[in-house]
Structure 1
């Protein structure tokens, strides 16, 4: 009784039979997309692509100039008005575009070519898998597990999967802009489980944000959270393979 008073708030209410039975083995794995199995190309590369596409090539061969633009971009992201625009930006493409334009308007290099910058942000090859993404997905598939993505994203991330030939390794994508909800809303995780035909109690969520991705535990899933660090090598997805049969 005392323990029950201190339980974490949750939408998940297991039955007495479920709590007494062995924990079911994992039969499905859900992944966050950004910074979990894919990452955006590095900032300097993106700025050079934007400059080339937008006809602003004068500074692109000057590493110090590009670094200065990158600093201005990072500094602008901390402005209160820009921070406010990011709230709920992944709920729709329109909100995300507005948030990006409001941010980039504070960066001299990007002012006036915001649409070009947005095209380069959403280009199929602007997001790349980690070196261990494909091997991990294939290993899970070979073990017979179902695979889904649950992501806070403002456009169809399937274009990036297809560009890298990984679309056949993912069964389901639940994307915030398509359902009008953001993690940690339980409905996103439950929809992914339902679309996969998987029991939430037998599903593992893998991500890099303890609040957003860890919210999966509120509806009965298990969760594995990576450190939210910028990785240039493997993401560590081999660790996920140790958690599944």
Structure 2
């Protein structure tokens, strides 16, 4: 009666003669970018920077009120609808963000400035365990790729953090015109690494997007969706490798 549970759609089928074989060891790792390797500065810090960049008087800023406005606007149905497919290209991302910030009264007149701040390198930083874990994987000879729904080339961020050489492959939504959980992103990264999907793990924070890697035969490690600012818990990957 439970047969249907084993008939879920898959982008990669495991040969029947391998179904009872030992589970292959992990020989490659894919990481999500935002909220996995890097995160944006806290919302209040981001908004304060936007306010200052606009030349507005900080003394007139009620940061708690502005944070509430931004979060409330993000829950509006039409704002959420505008975010669908936003990471397919830069223009769609810009318009989706403009719809969101356009619902924030205190950002009136500086929406475009706020959007540019979303993309600014200075507003993104690596977790404290990003570099140590990437270097540990490098020492073990484990190839690493980044698979991300994003609209800029995140190589700039990894290079700025001094770990650009630790990542060998990138599969970015705006370059491939598809978003996770589309199998093409995971398979492209695996192909570029020369890695067998069944011997690869995808690490991310979004069950629906990053967890989609399992349909390609990968394993998935989903980190808690919490606004951490120190270690992300990426050393879990190293424990998986043994």
Taking structure 2 as the reference length, the TM-score comes to 0.95
Is 1:39 paired with 2:39? yes
- In the alignment, what sits opposite 1:54? 54
Give CA-to-partner distance per residue, 1:34-65, whole Å, 9 cap, x none: 11111001111111111121112x1x2467x0
Is 1:128 paired with 2:125? yes
Q: Secondary structure at the match of 1:243?
A: helix
- In the alignment, what sits opposite 2:81? 84
Q: Secondary structure at the match of 1:174?
A: strand
- In the alignment, what sits opposite 1:5? 4
- Once the two structures are superposed, the pairs formed by residues 76-225 of structure 1 within 5 Å of their partners are 76-225=73-222
Aligned mates of 1:74, 1:91 — CA distance in 2: 23
Is 1:69 paired with 2:61? no
Segments of 4+ moved more than 6 angstroms: none
Aligned mates of 2:3, 2:172 — CA distance in 1: 34
User: What is the deviation of 1:138?
Assistant: 0.5
User: What is the deviation of 1:16?
Assistant: 2.2
Aligned mates of 1:76, 1:155 — CA distance in 2: 24
Give CA-to-partner distance per residue, 1:196-215, whole Å, 9 cap, x none: 11000110101111111111
Aligned pairs, number: 241
Where do 5+ consecutive residues of structure 2 fail to align?
A: none
- In the alignment, what sits opposite 1:18? 18
Aligned mates of 1:196, 1:18 — CA distance in 2: 23
Higher deviation after alignment, 25-34 or 105-114: 105-114
Q: Secondary structure at the match of 2:170?
A: strand
User: What is the deviation of 1:9?
Assistant: 2.5
Aligned mates of 1:216, 1:187 — CA distance in 2: 10
User: What is the deviation of 1:5?
Assistant: 2.8
Q: Secondary structure at the match of 1:20?
A: coil
Is contact 1:125-1:160 (8 Å) kept?
no
Is contact 1:201-1:222 (8 Å) kept?
yes
Aligned mates of 1:132, 1:62 — CA distance in 2: 37
Aligned mates of 1:128, 1:136 — CA distance in 2: 15
Where do 5+ consecutive residues of structure 1 fail to align?
A: none
Aligned mates of 2:160, 2:101 — CA distance in 1: 27
Aligned mates of 2:12, 2:170 — CA distance in 1: 22
User: What is the deviation of 1:117?
Assistant: 1.2
Is contact 1:146-1:171 (8 Å) kept?
yes
Q: Secondary structure at the match of 1:204?
A: strand
